[in-house]
A and B are shown apart, each in its own frame.
Chain A
C-alpha cells in the first residue's frame, strides 16, 4: 500500500520534472543561495579567504554565497560535508591540501576525494619558510644541514600538528637532505613559532605570515622557502632548489572545490566567474594581505596539480611513518 502511494507520487511528479531539462538547470545556476563550507573556524586563513571569495561571487551572481564554518578534524569534517552534499553545485568548499590529499592517505575517512570531491580552482598559495632560532649558529641552509648531519636527531623542529603541511614540509627537507630532526607538534602556528623563539625547538617550516614579523625583530632567521619559485611575500628568501637541495616542494595552498558529480556546465559557469574575480586587482590585494600568492588555475590544471602532488606527499608520509596501509 505504502509502496503504491510512493509510486503514485513519483508518477505525479514525473511530468513536472521532465519540463525542466538538466542543461537549463545548469545554465541557470545559481538560482538560489550557495553554501561555501569551510572546514576551519571563523577568522582562520581559509575562512578569511572564503569570505572574500564568497563576497565577490555574490556580487557577480546576484545570489547569496553563505560561508558555513564546520571546523574539526583538521578540515575533514568540512570537506566531508561537501562530499555528502547533493551534486547540484549549491555546496562549495574551501580546503587546504590536508583533507584533500594528505589525510586520505593517513587515515580512514568517510569520503573518497577522488570520487566525492570535484576540484574547481586554487585560490591562492603560499610557501613554507624554514625559520631557525636566530641564536642557532647557522647563517645559511648549508650550515644548518651540516649541523644536523654532524649530530643526527639532536635538534628539534616545531610544527602546527601531526600531518600538517608544516610538519610534512620539514620531513620533506629531512628526506631530501638525508638528515634527522626530532618532531615536536604544537597546536597552532603562533605556538610553534614561539617554541622556536624560546629554543624549545630550533627550527620550523611555517607560513610566511607566521614568521615574518619575528624575522624583522631579529629573533628568527629565514633560510629557505619550499616553493618551486620565489614568492612575492618572501622574495628575498632563496628556494631549496636554488640552494642545491632538490625535491623540496611544499605549498600550503587554499582551493575551492565542490561535490563530486557536479555537472561540467555548473563548473564552467562557476570557474568563468572565479577566473574574472581572481584576476581583479582588488581581490588579489585581499588575497596577498592574507600572505598568499594569487594564482590562476583552470579546473583541469588544478586536477593535474593534485595528481602531481599526491605521490610526493605519499613518499614523505611513508618516510615519516604516517602512511595508513
Chain B
C-alpha cells in the first residue's frame, strides 16, 4: 500500500539519530516555552531561525514543528494554575481549568490536559497522514461566504460560553466586536480609532488583551482579597484522575479532537476558534450545563484535544497549499524557503522524505511529549506552594516579558495594564471576559469575509444562501440561536 511505503520512508527519516535529536530538542523547548504565558512558539522559532541555515531542511523543520506543537501541550498549564492564558485557545481552558485548580484538582486538570493533548494530536496526525490531499481540497471549497458563515456560527457559540445571563454575554460579545474594529480598514486602508498611534494600526494586540483581561485582573482580585484562594496543594495520589473523571473526559476528548481536526485544516482561522467551538459543543451536549465554568472536566479536556488536533491538521494547508494556518506556521515556511524549498501544491511529491519524515516525527514527538509532560505535572503544581506575595510579582514580570516579546513593543505592556484594570472592573460587575475575547477575535474576521464576499457578488447578499456550505453553516447557526432562545424562554416560564 502506498501509505505504508510512505510511512516507512517517513520513519526511516525521522528515526535517524540526528532527526530524533532535533525532534527531542524541539519538543523540549516547546514544552518549556509553552508553559511561560505569552512567550509563545513564535519567539522561540524566531530565535532559532538563523540556526536552521546550518541544519538540513528536514531536521530543521522537525525541530521547529516540535516547538510549535510542543508549546500547545504546555499552553494550558499557566491557564489552569494561574489563570494566565498565553493564547486564545488557552483562554478557553481557564474557564473550567482554573476553578478545578481552586478546588485543589489542579493535578487532575493537568493530567487530563496532557492526555487530551496527546489524544488530539494523534487524531490530527492520522488525518494528516491519511487524508492530507483530500482535506486540502475540502479547505479549498471554503471561500469568503463560507468563512463568513463559519464566523457567524462561532459568534453563536460565543453566546453559549457565558455562564450567567445571556444578555450579559451578548453585551460582552458586542464590546469585543467593537474593540475589534480598531485598526486599519482592510478594504480601504483607512485608520479606525487609531488616534494617531501607529501601534494601533494593526489593531489591539490579542495576547496583550487576553493576558490583561484574564491574568492581570486575577492578580488584582487576589491582591484585593489578600492572596489566592488555593490553600491546599494536592498530594501525588490526588493527581490521578478518578474513574468518573475518565468517563466524563474521554468522550469529550473524542468530540474535541474531531472539531479541532476539522477546523485546523482551514487556513487562517482554524485553531483559535476550534477550542471555543468545542467548548460550546460540550456545554450543549452535557446533561448538566450549569457545571461548566465551575470545574467541569469536559470543559478542560475537549478544548485541549481540539487545539492540539488543530495544531497538527494546520500543517495540511501549510504544506499542501503553501498557506500557513497562522503566524508561526508562516515562519516555518520561511525556514523552508531559506533552503530553496518552495511550499506549494507539488511539495509532497517533490519532497516525499521531508513531508513523510515530518509526519513520522509528529508521532515520535508526541510520544516524547507524553513522557516528558506527565512527570512535570508535579513540578508545575509546586508553583502553587509559593506564597502569593512572592508569586504575583513574578507573574506580572512574566506577563510583561511575554507580551513585549511578541513584537518588541512597550506599547503592548500598557495595553496589558489597561485591560487588566478593565478586566477587574468587569469582574466587579460580574461580566465575563471569554465572550468578549471571542467577539474580538471573530469580529474582524467576520467583517473581512463579509465585505470580501459582498465585493465578489457586487453587493448581492444572496451569495451566502446560494452556496451550499455557506447556507448550511448559516442554517446551523440559526438553529443554535432558536434553540438557545427557546431554552431560555422555557427556563423563564
Residues in A lying within 8 Å of B, measured CB to CB? 41-45, 47-48, 51, 55, 68-74, 76-77, 80, 106-110, 156, 161-163, 182, 184-185, 187-188, 190-191, 193-195, 197-198, 200, 209, 212-214, 216-217, 219, 289-291, 322
Query: Shortest distance in angstroms between B416's beta carbon and chain A's nearest beta carbon?
Result: 17
Query: Shortest distance in angstroms between A61's beta carbon and chain B's nearest beta carbon?
Result: 18
Cα-based distance from A162 to B323 in the complex (angstroms): 20
Contact of A42 among B46, B143, B191, B268 (CB under 8 A): B46
* A73–B198 CB distance below 8 A: yes
Q: Within 8 Å of chain A (Cβ to Cβ): is B189?
A: yes
Chain B residues with CB below 8 A from A74, complex form:
201
* Given A72-B198, A72-B407, CB of A194 within 8 Å of CB of B321: yes
Chain B residues with CB below 8 A from A209, complex form:
337, 342
* B198–A110 CB distance below 8 A: yes
Cα-based distance from A146 to B202 in the complex (angstroms): 38
Query: Shortest distance in angstroms between A232's beta carbon and chain B's nearest beta carbon?
Result: 14
* A191–B268 CB distance below 8 A: yes
Cα-based distance from A44 to B343 in the complex (angstroms): 14
Residues in B lying within 8 Å of A, measured CB to CB? 42, 45-46, 49-50, 140, 143-144, 184, 186-189, 191, 196, 198-199, 201-202, 267-268, 321-324, 327, 330-335, 337-340, 342-347, 407-409, 448, 452, 455-456
Query: Shortest distance in angstroms between B405's beta carbon and chain A's nearest beta carbon?
Result: 10
Query: Shortest distance in angstroms between A90's beta carbon and chain B's nearest beta carbon?
Result: 17
Query: Shortest distance in angstroms between A263's beta carbon and chain B's nearest beta carbon?
Result: 27
* B191–A290 CB distance below 8 A: no
* A214–B186 CB distance below 8 A: no
Chain B residues with CB below 8 A from A107, complex form:
191
* B409–A214 CB distance below 8 A: no
Cα-based distance from A294 to B268 in the complex (angstroms): 32
Can you add 13 more A-B contacts, CB < 8 Å, to A41-B331, A43-B334, A161-B189?
A: A41-B46, A43-B333, A55-B50, A69-B407, A72-B202, A80-B198, A107-B191, A109-B198, A162-B188, A190-B324, A191-B268, A213-B342, A289-B338
* A41–B407 CB distance below 8 A: yes
* B186–A161 CB distance below 8 A: yes
Chain A residues with CB below 8 A from B331, complex form:
41-43
Please name the residue on chain A nearest to B142 by beta carbon: A198
* Given A43-B335, A198-B143, CB of A162 within 8 Å of CB of B186: yes
* A162–B344 CB distance below 8 A: no
Chain A residues with CB below 8 A from B323, complex form:
190-191, 194
* B202–A73 CB distance below 8 A: yes
Query: Shortest distance in angstroms between A102's beta carbon and chain B's nearest beta carbon?
Result: 11
Please name the residue on chain B nearest to A190 by beta carbon: B323
Cα-based distance from A118 to B15 in the complex (angstroms): 51
With a 10 A CB-CB cut-off, give which of A77, A106, A161 has the most chain B CB atoms: A77
Cα-based distance from A106 to B448 in the complex (angstroms): 22
Chain A residues with CB below 8 A from B268, complex form:
191
Cα-based distance from A50 to B187 in the complex (angstroms): 30
* A156–B408 CB distance below 8 A: no
Cβ contacts A to B, 23 pairs, < 8 Å: A42-B45, A42-B49, A42-B334, A43-B46, A43-B49, A69-B407, A72-B199, A109-B198, A162-B189, A182-B455, A184-B456, A185-B186, A191-B267, A198-B143, A209-B337, A213-B342, A213-B345, A214-B344, A214-B345, A216-B344, A217-B345, A290-B337, A290-B338
Chain A residues with CB below 8 A from B340, complex form:
289
* B346–A44 CB distance below 8 A: no
Cα-based distance from A72 to B346 in the complex (angstroms): 32
With a 10 A CB-CB cut-off, give which of A45, A48, A212 has the most chain B CB atoms: A48
* A51–B407 CB distance below 8 A: no
Cα-based distance from A68 to B202 in the complex (angstroms): 19
Query: Shortest distance in angstroms between B170's beta carbon and chain A's nearest beta carbon?
Result: 28
Query: Shortest distance in angstroms between A208's beta carbon and chain B's nearest beta carbon?
Result: 10
Cα-based distance from A287 to B198 in the complex (angstroms): 30
* B407–A198 CB distance below 8 A: no
Please name the residue on chain A nearest to B194 by beta carbon: A73
Query: Shortest distance in angstroms between B167's beta carbon and chain A's nearest beta carbon?
Result: 34
* A42–B42 CB distance below 8 A: yes
Query: Shortest distance in angstroms between B410's beta carbon and chain A's nearest beta carbon?
Result: 11
Cα-based distance from A106 to B184 in the complex (angstroms): 13
Chain A residues with CB below 8 A from B337, complex form:
48, 209, 289-291
* A77–B199 CB distance below 8 A: yes
Inter-chain contact count A-B, CB under 8 Å?
129
* B334–A48 CB distance below 8 A: yes
Chain A residues with CB below 8 A from B321, complex form:
190, 194
With a 10 A CB-CB cut-off, give which of A48, A73, A106, A214 has the most chain B CB atoms: A73
Cα-based distance from A52 to B150 in the complex (angstroms): 41
Please name the residue on chain B nearest to A80 by beta carbon: B198
Cα-based distance from A195 to B142 in the complex (angstroms): 10
* B346–A216 CB distance below 8 A: yes
Chain B residues with CB below 8 A from A72, complex form:
198-199, 201-202, 407, 409
Cα-based distance from A76 to B49 in the complex (angstroms): 24
Chain A residues with CB below 8 A from B342, complex form:
209, 212-213
* A76–B198 CB distance below 8 A: yes
Chain B residues with CB below 8 A from A76, complex form:
198, 201
* A217–B407 CB distance below 8 A: no
Contact of A162 among B187, B199, B345, B452 (CB under 8 A): B187
Please name the residue on chain B nearest to A215 by beta carbon: B344
Contact of A77 among B50, B198, B333, B455 (CB under 8 A): B198
* Given A72-B407, A216-B346, CB of A200 within 8 Å of CB of B198: no
Cα-based distance from A69 to B406 in the complex (angstroms): 9
Query: Shortest distance in angstroms between B382's beta carbon and chain A's nearest beta carbon?
Result: 34
* Given A162-B189, A213-B345, CB of A156 within 8 Å of CB of B407: no
Query: Shortest distance in angstroms between A125's beta carbon and chain B's nearest beta carbon?
Result: 17
Chain B residues with CB below 8 A from A191, complex form:
267-268, 323
Cα-based distance from A117 to B268 in the complex (angstroms): 35
* A106–B327 CB distance below 8 A: no
Chain A residues with CB below 8 A from B332, complex form:
43
* A48–B199 CB distance below 8 A: no
Chain A residues with CB below 8 A from B344, complex form:
212-214, 216-217
Chain A residues with CB below 8 A from B346, complex form:
213, 216-217
* B143–A200 CB distance below 8 A: yes
Chain A residues with CB below 8 A from B49, complex form:
42-43, 48, 51
Cα-based distance from A108 to B186 in the complex (angstroms): 18
Cα-based distance from A299 to B191 in the complex (angstroms): 34
Chain A residues with CB below 8 A from B50, complex form:
51, 55
Chain B residues with CB below 8 A from A51, complex form:
49-50
Chain B residues with CB below 8 A from A156, complex form:
455-456
Query: Shortest distance in angstroms between B26's beta carbon and chain A's nearest beta carbon?
Result: 16
Chain B residues with CB below 8 A from A106, complex form:
189
* Given A72-B202, A213-B343, CB of A188 within 8 Å of CB of B330: yes
Chain A residues with CB below 8 A from B407, complex form:
41, 69-72
Cα-based distance from A74 to B184 in the complex (angstroms): 10
Please name the residue on chain B nearest to A153 by beta carbon: B458
Cα-based distance from A213 to B335 in the complex (angstroms): 17
Query: Shortest distance in angstroms between A162's beta carbon and chain B's nearest beta carbon?
Result: 3
Chain A residues with CB below 8 A from B143, complex form:
195, 198, 200
